[in-house]
Structure 1
Amino acid sequence: PVHAARLTYEAMRVGAPARRLAKSLQPLAGRCDARLVYAYADHASALAADSGPRLLQVADEMEQIGALRYATEAAAYAADAFAREGRQDSARQAAARCRALNARGHGAVLPAMSELDNNAVMLTPRESQLVQLASQGLSNADIAERLVLSVRTVESHLYRAMQKLGVSDHHKL
């Protein structure tokens, strides 16, 4: 059951419908005592329900097991779920949790994280543009010059974006 559960879970990670796979993972979890298989089933079930709180519980569960990549993904999906519900504070907290887990793990950008900052924390198009430029190492003055904006406008937009992203330093963008 462990190998079957892993293959089923990996299928979900690459885009197979969570609802269908959750139904397959539950019986597999019942046939073994591996905590990770139970966590796979919980993740699929929470993802199928689009439940931010349950996805955060899965992130905690995966973290305790030591599966930081899976914990990171669960937190990213939680941020997306909260954002879809209009729960921006919860989305920001889940996004921050995702980034913290990712930093503790492998630090790679996972597909589940690809829209994390834009969707989970609802950056405006201008904020996204400025964050992207700042993350490339450009100063506020350089960004202002490139986009024909005042430095004050750039500072203002970046300040709001940093608040939304839970970042306190321009260099951490």
Structure 2
Amino acid sequence: MSARQDAERKGSQVATSWILGVVAALLAVAVAVVAVVIVMSDEPEPPAAAPVTETVMKTETAASTTTPVVTTTAAPEITQTPEPVVPAGSPVAQGQPCLASEARQFKTDAAGNSLVCAPMGAAGFSWVQHGNDDGGVHRIGEPCDPAVDSVSRDPSGLAILCGGQTWVANP
């Protein structure tokens, strides 16, 4: 073997050793990162049945050595947001209590009667019958005629009463 061939072989061995050293260092860093992520993770592990994707890449060096590199990616975890609980309204029946959030709302009872949730002072709120709804829309403070006006709606659809000479929210 000539000196030149011997030098080329040694150079090839050095290059191969250097490449394998770099690959080993990269694998060591990857293992360290995965270990840190596992230790630092506050989230529970995904279920065992979660799909996992593995990608295998092969790198070839000058000496035709094949080194597999495996990357594993877990499927994203799916979380469900609970539906907000919305309290049901009170049962609509004349004389029955209603919620403060239902105040001045028009509702219909099981018999088809139109009722309004009205404030009853210290007793809270109750469903009550109301006078004839004029079908119009008025603003609180606008003039009304108590001889012909009884109940109407404000622009937001809530009940208002003709109280004397003006529309009012409560009696």
TM-score (ref. length: structure 1): 0.26
Which has the higher Rg, Structure 1 or Structure 2?
2
Higher share in strand: 2
Higher share in helix: 1
